[in-house]
Amino acid sequence: MSLIVQKFGGTSVADTDKIRAAARKAVRAQQQGHQVVMVVSAMGKNTDVLVSLASEMSETPPAREMDMLLSTGEQVSVALVAMAIHGMGAKAVSLTGGQIGIRTDNSFTKARIQSISTARIERLLDEGNIVIAAGFQGIDEDLNITTLGRGGSDTTAVALAAVLGAETCEIYTDVDGVYTTDPRVLPEARHVGVISYDEMLELASLGAGVMHSRSIEFAKKFGVPIHVRSSFSDTEGTMIVAEPESASASVCGAALTRDEARITVLGVPDVPGTSLEIFSAISDRKIAVDMIVQNIGNDGRTDISFTVQHSDLESTLQAVSAAATQLGAVGITHDDQVSKVSVVGLGMAVQTGVAHKMFRALADAGVNIQMITTGEIKISVLVSRDQASNALRAVHQVFKLMDQPAERKSWAQIRAERHEKADVNTLVARLQSDALEELTLTGIDVMPNQARVTLRGVPDTPGIAADMFESVSEAGVFIDMIVQGIDGEDGRTSVSMTIPEKDLDTCLEVAKSLMKRHGLRDVQGGEGIAKVTVSGIGLRSHTNVGTIMFRALAGADINVQMINTSELQVNTVIDGKKAQIGRERLSAAFQEALR
Ligand code: ADP
Ligand code: ASP
Ligand code: MG
């Protein structure tokens, strides 16, 4: 008999009528011949209410007690859903995370799932019950209640779908699927029929709040098809599967993280081990760092900038100030009025010109770009918060995301064509492992013969990035990585890009012509560098990845010249002569960490 998991978010169980409607959907699926597991969130805004109660009690409530408190929201809803199903004459049993046996680590409020026992659920299903699981919670080794982080019920649902071998995981929510961007922010956003795991993973991690990004890690690892759909209608929603909707589109969606903060550590020694010191202090607090930019040093010193979620700012500043003192840094600056706008698309990995199209659109909209980082399938820019919605609208428009892509596959077509099946043995091994949510690595690769061009002292005005990348592309040079970050304290920035070594002279020429036109301070080039790429699933959400990498490279006396991170890849640019040893050290370090 086929099994489906149905997850209902807070708005979908906000009152007793809605709870009855959710119960009806489950009963109907059971009558159609499925075994049904429901995963339910706390009613409405109940979790927010609990959070504010806690903050009335203490400015820094103990994390363990936070989880004890927050888990109660889901316990209320599962019991009510079970009662509703009983009222409809069907059999149902509600279970907490602990009762199911969702084992997590003990990082309270951000716990990760280690294992799930399926025996009890399977027995209850075989007895004809609808099983109703409390979302977002688990239990650690010492039977403490843990929670998975805000929005974590999606992850409970997909994880259960994975271990139970469900046919699909249905995510019932207050929108009828995934849109090209948040439809509440941009009403012109378009409903997407199909989206790939990789694209959804990046979008979710970059701010598309419709799915908890860790749930997509599970879906990708275990090949679970997800159907995101409306609780309030029966229309078809969005399928999240391995394949993309369109092979021709360069960008499939845009996302906004409104509440970001930028931190710059000024004047740290430009030697191996500096990044390690800073980022290990942050990752010890399980804070996810994004947009890491290290400027090319001057006089043996350099600046390192990065962003974190605004809510993590205080804690990050505490962590960084100790590290900065240790390193003898000149100072720390931060800006808490910034937002991150990103575009994502698998097509970007093979199409050129996506970056300068985005930068031109932002310049035309009068938006100044403060930082840039790129990944294989994403580009993110940091802008001031008061320009964030404008910036999002401009990029959504320039990639024509409101229009259907010319070539587009429906879910039915994809299903018919599906022949790739995940390697069954790997899946079984992953499912049996005691670390379901551990980092998964898929490869470590070296790209030799690269060069870097850096423009320093770029004035703080819109349009320069657009000009620069347009001119370089027009000269026929393929740009791979781009990073732009704060350069010193005068509001200017520095921009670095990697290109094939053979194009260094051409690129330097273009850069020098821009230097005059835009009043840049300096242009530098360097050849003989290599890009070392670590690929995997959930590289950013596992906050220790950077530490593992920086430690391995610093141990081999390798200086990291550039870095970018995404959920799928971390790229570092290092001296080409040290690429092989770097690769070996990284392989060893990750093997050790994953053991
Ligand atoms: P639930 O409580 O059901 O988990 P959430 O509030 O977590 O619901 O997620 C649904 C919300 O996600 C939508 O109301 C929408 O505003 C927001 N959202 C953000 N980005 C997107 C997107 N790309 N597509 C659809 N919805 C999005
Ligand atoms: N109730 C939790 C929250 O609001 C979990 C969830 O809804 O996914 O974050
Ligand atoms: Mg949600």
Radius of gyration of the chain (CA): 24
The last residue of one of the domains, among 245, 270, 291, is 245
* pLDDT at residue 568, rounded to an integer: 93
| Burial class of residue 542, CB neighbours in 10 A (0-12, 13-18, 19+) | buried
* Ligand 2 binding pocket includes 44 (Cβ within 6 Å): no
Residue 415 lies in a domain: no
Residue 181: pLDDT band by 50, 70, 90 thresholds? Answer: very high
Q: Would the pLDDT of 424 be above 70?
A: no
| pLDDT above 90: percentage of residues in the chain | 79
Q: Would the pLDDT of 385 be above 80?
A: yes
* pLDDT at residue 469, rounded to an integer: 92
Do 191 and 318 reside in the same domain of the chain? Answer: no
Q: Would the pLDDT of 431 be above 80?
A: no
| Residue range 333-351, pLDDT digits in tens | 999 999 999 999 999 988 8
The H or E element spanning position 449 is: strand 440-458
Q: Would the pLDDT of 420 be above 60?
A: no
Do 158 and 234 reside in the same domain of the chain? Answer: yes
| pLDDT above 70: percentage of residues in the chain | 97
For 17, phi then psi, to 5°, come to -65, -45
Token digits of residue 481? 């990585």
Closest ligand to C-alpha of residue 43 is: 2
Q: Which residues are within 8 A (CB) of 13 and not within 5 positions of it... i.e. 6 or more apart?
A: 19, 22, 40, 41, 43, 44, 77, 80, 81
Ligand 3 center to 239 CA (angstroms): 16
Poorest-confidence range of 85-89, 121-125, 411-415, 424-428?
Answer: 424-428
If one compares 229 and 249, the residue with the highest pLDDT of the two is 229
Token digits of residue 522? 């300096």
> How confident is the model over 434-458, as a mean pLDDT?
91
Ligand 1, atom 9, residue with closest C-alpha = 210
Do 321 and 338 reside in the same domain of the chain? Answer: yes
Residue 421 lies in a domain: no
> How confident is the model over 288-315, as a mean pLDDT?
88
Residue 475 lies in a domain: yes
Closest ligand 1 atom number to CA of residue 153: 4
> How confident is the model over 441-461, as a mean pLDDT?
93
| Helix 16-31 × helix 63-87 angle, to 10° | 60
Beta pairing, strands 290-294 & 301-309: antiparallel
Q: Would the pLDDT of 569 be above 70?
A: yes
- Write the CATH number for 300: 3.30.2130.10
Residue 326 lies in a domain: yes
> Given ligand 1 and candidates 48, 150, 182, 256, which is best to mutate, with the most ligand atoms within 8 Å of its CB?
182
Do 480 and 545 reside in the same domain of the chain? Answer: yes
Residue 21 lies in a domain: yes
Do 495 and 354 reside in the same domain of the chain? Answer: yes
How many domains is the chain partitioned into structurally? Answer: 2
| CA dihedral over 523, 529, 535, 539, signed as positive or negative | negative
* pLDDT at residue 352, rounded to an integer: 82
Do 384 and 274 reside in the same domain of the chain? Answer: yes
Give CA separation, 89 vs 313, 421, 573, in Å. 51, 39, 63
Do 568 and 587 reside in the same domain of the chain? Answer: yes
* pLDDT at residue 90, rounded to an integer: 98
Residue 300: pLDDT band by 50, 70, 90 thresholds? Answer: confident
Do 239 and 258 reside in the same domain of the chain? Answer: no
Give the residue numbers spanning the domain of 564.
Answer: 254-400+441-593
Q: Would the pLDDT of 150 be above 60?
A: yes
* Ligand 2 binding pocket includes 45 (Cβ within 6 Å): no
Do 63 and 206 reside in the same domain of the chain? Answer: yes
* pLDDT at residue 419, rounded to an integer: 55
Strongest mean pLDDT among 122-126, 231-235, 246-250, 296-300: 122-126
> How confident is the model over 115-138, as a mean pLDDT?
97
Q: Per-residue b/e over 470-489, b at no fewer than 16 CB within 10 Å?
A: bbbbeeebebbbbbbbbbbe
* Ligand 2 binding pocket includes 97 (Cβ within 6 Å): no
Residue 100 lies in a domain: yes
Beta pairing, strands 522-537 & 378-384: unpaired
Instruction: Report the distance separating Cα 210 and Cα 187, nearest Å.
Output: 15
Four-CA torsion 292, 297, 303, 304, nearest 10 degrees: 20
| CA dihedral over 189, 230, 97, 55, signed as positive or negative | positive
Q: Are the C-beta atoms of residues 312 and 286 closer than 8 Å to each other?
A: no
Closest ligand 1 atom number to CA of residue 185: 16
| Residue range 47-56, pLDDT digits in tens | 999 999 999 9
Do 197 and 324 reside in the same domain of the chain? Answer: no
Q: Would the pLDDT of 227 be above 80?
A: yes
Q: Are the C-beta atoms of residues 472 and 479 closer than 8 Å to each other?
A: yes
Residue 420 lies in a domain: no
Query: What residues does ligand 1 touch, defined as CB less than 6 Å away?
Result: 9-12, 41, 151, 173-175, 178-179, 181-184, 208-210
Average confidence score pLDDT of the chain:
93
Q: Would the pLDDT of 592 be above 80?
A: yes
Residue 422: pLDDT band by 50, 70, 90 thresholds? Answer: low
> How confident is the model over 74-99, as a mean pLDDT?
98
| Burial class of residue 31, CB neighbours in 10 A (0-12, 13-18, 19+) | exposed
Q: Per-residue b/e over 442-460, b at no fewer than 16 CB within 10 Å?
A: eebeebeebbbbbbbbbee
DSSP result, 164-215:
HT-SEEEEEESSSS-BSS-TTT-TT--B-SEEEHHHHHHHHHTT-TTS-HHH
| Residue range 398-418, pLDDT digits in tens | 999 999 988 888 888 888 776
Do 364 and 506 reside in the same domain of the chain? Answer: yes
| Residue range 363-376, pLDDT digits in tens | 999 999 999 999 99
Do 59 and 106 reside in the same domain of the chain? Answer: yes
Instruction: Report the distance separating Cα 508 and Cα 530, nearest Å.
Output: 18
* pLDDT at residue 209, rounded to an integer: 95
- Write the CATH number for 229: 3.40.1160.10
> How confident is the model over 532-550, as a mean pLDDT?
91
Residue 526: pLDDT band by 50, 70, 90 thresholds? Answer: very high
Predicted TM-score (pTM) of the model is 0.95
Four-CA torsion 327, 486, 205, 209, nearest 10 degrees: 120
Closest ligand 2 atom number to CA of residue 41: 7
The last residue of one of the domains, among 189, 218, 245, is 245
* pLDDT at residue 575, rounded to an integer: 95
Cβ count near 416 (within 10 Å): 10
The last residue of one of the domains, among 214, 245, 276, is 245
Ligand 1 center to 175 CA (angstroms): 7
Give CA separation, 346 vs 110, 248, 529, in Å. 29, 9, 26
* pLDDT at residue 302, rounded to an integer: 87
Q: Would the pLDDT of 240 be above 80?
A: yes
Residue 427 lies in a domain: no
| Residue range 244-293, pLDDT digits in tens | 999 889 999 999 999 999 999 999 988 888 889 999 999 988 898 999 98
User: Residue 176 corresponds to which amino acid?
Assistant: D
